[in-house]
Structure 1
Amino acid sequence: MIFVIFKFSNEKYWLVFSEDIVAFINNFVKKIKIMQLVKTGLCAFGMSGKIFHAPFLKEHSGFFLSAIVERNKEESKEKYSDATIYRSVEEMLQNADIELVVVNTPVQTHFEYTKMALEAGKNVIVEKPFTVNVSEAEELVKLAEEKGLFLSVYQNRRFDRDYLQVQKIINEGKLGNIKEMEIRFDRFRTEASGKAHKENPDATGSGSLHDLGSHLIDQATQYFGLPEKLFADVFSMKGKDFANDYFEIILYYKNDVRVRLKSSVFTKEAHYAYAVHGDKGSFLQERSDDQENELAAGAIPEYGKDWVEPLQETDGILNFLNENKQTERILTSSESGNYMNYYQQIYEFIVFGYALPSPAGEIVRNMKIIDAAVESSKEGKVVYL
């Protein structure tokens, strides 16, 4: 309830607003503000553009996808007919009336295109792993600050159901003081994919460490922050003609906490993606988020609705000592994740000034870990951060 007092003819009167009326007023104000459309340009219309960006920009009522770069084709016309097609990022930046640019091109071009967009006065969302090294990342952060523009890195795995479930279990405190954690992202892909920017060993930034490692490193730093030091083993199981497709990184934290990050393309039988061990119990979590597959199959991520298919079975095991020092073993089910929440947070930052999701300055620490892992593996030593 909200109570309002006002005076009329020297008499005091009370007005009482119910919670329903207050909610109606709040929603009405939001609807007025949501008419501010953020004109957005997409730098590529490959897999990431089709799955991770264009559908959300179309369905969110606060964005207008007005420009798409397609160098040779016009595939976007079928679903995004309102967007103008440009043949290069340069052409789009010179001609399109946009205020936000999504840099979703191969990582080797992230620095060039992000810098180009910032210098053109555009806010930028750039896909992980941000850049190929920390020096490029720091230069872009500095440029964005000088220009008074925002720069966010698209860390969509923060909105996966499994990651969020682990975060929830840790925050509940049932595991006590965390002592050890392992995060894995395994695949069974023993053949070449044909994507040179990911598999060419001579291409800086190619390989699993920059690709999948950027997710695992981001999650570790979200859980525990920047480690004191690390040791890494990074190499190619498929051979010297391929970029790294295997890595194992040990992160050393204060209070003797250890976090292990691991990925392999020769894993036919899946491991638990997350294993968390504390002084009161353990939690095992499967990698169960299926948003990418649902989007690839044509799911529409409707704004304001739970568009993700509900989980049909349990995907985690919680084993801990309760307050009576008795063992409880619980099979858990994670709640749905939603990549739309990333774009909702971007919109709330633009319109309401709320916190920017995964700001580039924060992701610089992830790049420091990637660079340190490369050095550690090459030199066979522990690297301090």
Structure 2
Amino acid sequence: MKKVAVVGFGFMGMTHTMNIIKNPELDLVAIVDIETDEIEKKLTSKSGNFSTGSIESDTLKKIRKYQTLDECLEKEELDAIHICVHTNMHYIMAKKALECSKHVFLEKPFTLNIKQAEELIALAKDQKRILMVAHVVRFMPPYMKLKQLIDSEEYGKLKFLSLSRFSGIPTWGQWKEKQKDFGSSGGALFDLVIHDIDFVNYLLGLPEEIKCNYLPGELSNHDYISALWLYKAKGIHVRIEGGNTFHTNFPFQAGYIATFENASLLYTTFKGEVIQIATENSLLEIAAGDAGDGFYNEIAYFASCINNNIEPIKCMPESSLQTVQLCYNHL
């Protein structure tokens, strides 16, 4: 088993923690959070825009806690570190971990600074350590099914794809403070809509043209995004829409519509674990799986990579860097 630590115990830190605990290849030995005394209390506080599971408080009591990554690195023999802090700390934390020869699983977005991301990629190569960014949608069963249908052309060639992702403005954890530090998080473009930007890049590669409109919100100048990606050579149009310019308790919603030559598909989190498939003669439903399983799947994939010392081909850091650049291409 590989010994790992989670840095940052907010919504994503808790999500990583519970899925590491479930994984037989990983041993969670430490949690790093500036509020070590509050870690167990966070289990009952609002965290995130949807539920990703739960952790027993007795389980947490057995895991050592540190206020700083430096102290954790000094006292623990670690193989890998999961970094789940706010975006503006990604570079600092990832660099420190890589310099100490630890594998790094870094929450998205990679960094907001292109040169910093390039530096981390080079550092990981120099240290011969695996660096992977957590683009969870690549590992969510309903989206994996869409990729399989596109690749197999079971319903013919893809002609049109529309993806959406909406959430109320985040106020849990330190997000309220981020409203006072306008723009530092990257806003909805880099924190929320990036999921679909990354997934389309993963599916189809770079478009020939991007047309985009965006609106400001509480966190940045681009908290609502409506974009059209044109793949002229492939004859595919892609629409991406999303944001968090809504009241706090607005229900989270994500999904896609895909039109192929011979069928149209609909998936939405409101409908649950099914994909609806419409043809000229029928409307049927197929099992989609639970999108929430993506969190376990991506961590299991990272664990397999570090255990077998192989590159994370499904989610290379160079691809994650390209996704950050694509986000900037919407501005």
TM-score, normalised to structure 1's length? 0.71
- Structure 2 residue aligned with 1:183: 163
**Match of 1:329, as an amino acid?**
L
Give yes or no for the alignment of 1:65 onto 2:46: no
- Structure 2 residue aligned with 1:244: 222
- Structure 1 residue aligned with 2:183: 203
- Structure 2 residue aligned with 1:349: 305
Distance 2:252 2:17 in 1: 31
For residue 242 of structure 1, report the CA deviation from its aligned partner.
5.2
- Structure 1 residue aligned with 2:277: 318
- Structure 2 residue aligned with 1:231: 211
8 Å Cα contact 1:153/1:358 also seen in 2? yes
> Structure 1 residues 85 and 372 mapped into 2: Cα distance closer, same or farther (>3 Å)?
same
- Structure 2 residue aligned with 1:221: 201
- Structure 1 residue aligned with 2:257: 275
8 Å Cα contact 1:280/1:320 also seen in 2? yes
Distance 1:198 1:80 in 2: 28
Distance 2:22 2:252 in 1: 34
For residue 196 of structure 1, report the CA deviation from its aligned partner.
4.5
How do residues 250-265 of structure 1 correspond to structure 2 at under 5 angstroms? 250-253=228-231, 254-265=233-244
Instruction: Provide the identity percentage.
Output: 20
Distance 2:12 2:316 in 1: 20
Larger radius of gyration: 1
Distance 2:160 2:315 in 1: 25
Give yes or no for the alignment of 1:170 onto 2:133: no
Query: 1:21-54 deviations in whole A, cap 9, x for unaligned?
Result: xxxxxxxxxxxxxxxx11111111122111x211
- Structure 2 residue aligned with 1:41: 5
For residue 107 of structure 1, report the CA deviation from its aligned partner.
0.4
Distance 1:352 1:269 in 2: 40
For residue 88 of structure 1, report the CA deviation from its aligned partner.
1.0
**Match of 1:186, as an amino acid?**
F
- Number of residue pairs the alignment of both structures matches: 306
Q: Which runs of 5+ in 1 are unaligned?
A: 1-36, 291-310, 322-326, 375-385
**Match of 1:283, as an amino acid?**
L
8 Å Cα contact 1:345/1:354 also seen in 2? no
Distance 2:170 2:149 in 1: 37
> Structure 1 residues 230 and 331 mapped into 2: Cα distance closer, same or farther (>3 Å)?
same
8 Å Cα contact 1:162/1:287 also seen in 2? no
Distance 2:162 2:261 in 1: 16
Distance 2:121 2:112 in 1: 14
8 Å Cα contact 1:43/1:102 also seen in 2? yes
Distance 1:93 1:124 in 2: 13
Distance 2:311 2:220 in 1: 40
Query: 1:96-151 deviations in whole A, cap 9, x for unaligned?
Result: 21120111000011011111111111110000111113222111111111111110
- Structure 1 residue aligned with 2:327: 370
Secondary structure at the counterpart of residue 212 of structure 1? helix
Distance 2:320 2:169 in 1: 30
For residue 256 of structure 1, report the CA deviation from its aligned partner.
3.2
- Structure 2 residue aligned with 1:131: 111
- Structure 1 residue aligned with 2:315: 358
